[in-house]
Structure 1
């Protein structure tokens, strides 16, 4: 039986944490990349960066 990462709670938390940390790091390097997409589907990355800070 195969298990997907999204169905394992611990793996899901790790993926979310990596997303938040990566977005915060990218925003510290080049803020214009994430700041121009504050709304819509790509706004998830901007919100992740805000949480990471």
Structure 2
């Protein structure tokens, strides 16, 4: 779990497993595509909203 501006989680889904990481995103920006994976980034916005980016390759 991560809350507050600049905090978020990144999940990488693959056919043979997945991984998840939460904490400060810093200036990471949007996630890039990874081979044979779906990458999901959820980040806390400045005004209490959430930003979700989904990238597949």
- Say whether the fold is shared (TM-score over 0.5): no
Which category of TM-score, normalised to the shorter sequence, fits these structures? under 0.3
Q: Which has the higher helix share?
A: 1
**Greater share of strand:** 2
- TM-score, with structure 1 as normaliser: 0.25
